[in-house]
Structure 1
Amino acid sequence: MTGPALSIVSYNIRKAVGTDRRRDPHRILSVLKEAQADIVILQEADLRLGQRPSALPRDRIGDTGLSAVAVATSAVSLGWHGNAILVRPDWAVRSVDRITLPGLEPRGAVAAVVATPAGPLCVIGAHLGLLRRSRQSQQHTLVEWVAGREEMPTLIAGDLNEWSARRGLGPLAQVFDLHSPGHSFHARWRLAPLDRIGLSRGLSLDRIDMLDTAMTRAASDHLPIRAGVRLEARG
């Protein structure tokens, strides 16, 4: 292995609307600051209406110790189709891609190649559809996108919207080892393992858990999931 494990967090922030039905972006920022992650993958990071403005104050993102990757196509958005990536400000981002996903709902994924101290890492953030047929097509699209970049260690994370712990993610499982720390949705009632992290060859899982505190149970209907990920040394 090369160096310490990278700390990765994936979090569906539900547009900063908490389980108390209050929209409180500063509560989300506090969760992210306390997580002290190297890379954060967000879902539902933008509002739905109009130009889809960021659900978090863009001028306060730096308070988390992270910087927003430029995945948005709008000056007021934080993400694309609600997907956003935050990284340590001292880690360079070499490239950004937006991946259009098929299905009845408008969906997309974002990808960034991040220059970590252990080597380059491709990070994909995704929020898959509510219908299993759509999710299957979306997974195939993601697998095809990754197929042309197999030499790059790749991590995918997000709200994959699959309620089953045993089936439904077969296409992604062909490329990624998929991991879940348990039922991260609903934050208060623990109904399903919707949030997952997947690792390609060249990556290994050091640990995985959920950030389960009074604040995270209030801040969103999903709990943030956190993983320690190592890049394997290349021979």
Structure 2
Amino acid sequence: MSPDGAGREEGGTLRLVTWNLHGGVGADRRCDLERALRALQGFDPTVAALQEVDGRTHLGRRSHAFERARDLLGGHFAEARLTGRGATAYGHALWSRWPFARLDILRLPGGRIEPRAAIDALVETPFGPLRLIATHLGLVPADRRRQAGFLAELVAARAEPTVVLGDFNDWRLDRGAVHRALAPILPRVAAPKTWPARRPFVRMDRIYAAAALGLEASRTADEAAGLSDHRALVAELRL
């Protein structure tokens, strides 16, 4: 951890990142997951939700994506492997500096194009428990409505301070099904334009936080814009 990161966290502020890695394929069409993960480390996150961790070699990705991400990042790493097996698995992950006190991988409804999941974790921070739900929602609007409703019920089922973050695949914010489901119960929202990376105009990647949490600042990581088809979303959360 950098000295700046240590001071930030001692003050009760966490840095959250959500980033669709696109399997590590950048604008140069080169698959280099480690390149993207080193950029992630440069953001100095406390928590990171990572979508499209992809070991599908038949699609030009490199094998053992989950293993390579876990080994490079260290810390605490939760996996939602959704398709493929072993070295060629594909899905998403949640990384944390601090250990998980509770961890559940939950399949989401729908998934007509590909299965979807939520990683539901309780992290014991030095400032108290924080619930994190990392997800990557579906491409089909009807599936996405059901998945957003499922997430809203999941949030409401527990009283812990909660953050839901990930790639929601929703092109609309205020009028979209995801925002209508989550914003009433998680009203602190970070949703800058993140896709496509070259010239973003869609707010697909978002962070929703409980009212009791302070979502103080957010930005896109423009310095790593060429490393995926999404820009990373970085936000400061005060507990």
Fold match, TM over 0.5?
yes
1:202 corresponds to 2:212: yes
- Partner residue of 1:122? 131
Cα distance in 2 for partners of 1:78, 1:122 equals: 29
From 180, 187, 200, the equivalent of 1:177 is 187
Aligned residues: 223
**Which letter does structure 1 place at the counterpart of 2:208?**
G
Cα distance in 2 for partners of 1:60, 1:107 equals: 20
TM (normalized to structure 2)? 0.83
**Which letter does structure 1 place at the counterpart of 2:133?**
I
Kept after mapping to 1: 8 A contact 2:76/2:99: no
Q: Which runs of 5+ in 1 are unaligned?
A: none
From 142, 148, 152, the equivalent of 1:143 is 152
Whose helix fraction is larger, Structure 1's or Structure 2's?
2
- Partner residue of 2:11? 3
Cα distance in 2 for partners of 1:70, 1:182 equals: 26
Q: How does 1:159-174 map to 2 (within 5 A)?
A: 159-168=167-176, 169-174=179-184
Shift of 1:55: 6.0
- Partner residue of 2:163? 155
Of structures 1 and 2, the one with the larger relative CO (CA 8 A, separation 6+) is 1
Shift of 1:41: 0.6
TM (normalized to structure 1)? 0.84
Q: Which runs of 5+ in 2 are unaligned?
A: 1-9
- Partner residue of 2:38? 30
Shift of 1:76: 3.9
Kept after mapping to 2: 8 A contact 1:72/1:78: no
Deviations, residues 153-204 of structure 1 (Å, cap 9, x unaligned):
1100001111113211201122112523421111102131110000023212
Kept after mapping to 1: 8 A contact 2:129/2:160: yes
From 102, 112, 120, the equivalent of 1:95 is 102
1:56–1:208: structure 2 CA closer, same or farther, 3 Å change rule? same
Aligned identity (percent) is 34
